[in-house]
Amino acid sequence: MNTKILLLSLCALFALSACEPSAKSDSRPAAIADIPEDAVDPLSHMSALETGGHKGQIHFHDGSESQWFGSIANLIMYTRLPETANRPMTAYVSLSDNEGKALSPWQWTALEDAWFVLLPPNPEDPFSLATWTAYREQSNAEAVVQNVPLSRLYRYHEIHDEDLLDCH
């Protein structure tokens, strides 16, 4: 009889513990507010701070060193590399104002939560490239698309590799 009570108690304990929310189940590392002075983009090998515009950061869940990116395009490309695509990570992109400029001080949103706008190159600058910008709210991103000819709206999963070429 004591064995049955013990087994029933253990089963009840396991059932209750399975129902309790785990602190780790939905937690993701928070974005780091400021970019370190020595942050180097692993794709361009340039200082993430020396390049103008939008930035990205990745925190690997295995506790390895965080990666910093000098552009949203580089961050997205990095997440798709065969050696990194399947590693558990949390990625953040810097947010933009209504004119497509990076907010200062830096503000971040998770890659999968962001609304992206691909801004066309500046026609007055022959060296200009298309630029990825990120927004937390869909309405802000849509307003930019309405005001900037040839710009396009995306979610992360809608961005194709070809969309990342010739961008910064």
* Domains in the chain: boundaries: 37-164
Give the pLDDT band of residue 9 (cuts 50, 70, 90): very low
pLDDT at position 50 is 87
Query: In this predicted model, what pLDDT tens digit does every residue of 12-67 receive, in sequence order?
Result: 444 444 444 444 445 778 899 999 999 999 999 999 998 888 999 999 998 888 99
Lowest mean pLDDT among 13-27, 87-101, 123-137, 148-162: 13-27
Average pLDDT (95-121) is: 94
Cα gap 133→114, rounded to integer Å? 9
Indicate the SS3 state at residue 76: helix
Confidence check: pLDDT of 126 > 80: yes
> How far is it, in rounded angstroms, from Cα 22 to Cα 20?
6
Kindly indicate the confidence band of residue 131, based on its pLDDT and cuts at 50, 70 and 90.
very high
In angstroms and rounded to an integer, the radius of gyration of the C-alpha atoms of the chain is 21
Long-range contacts at 133-139 (CB < 8 A, ≥ 24 apart): 133/54, 133/72, 133/96, 133/100, 134/54, 134/72, 134/93, 134/94, 134/95, 134/96, 134/109, 135/95, 135/96, 135/109, 136/95, 136/109
Determine the pLDDT at residue 17.
44
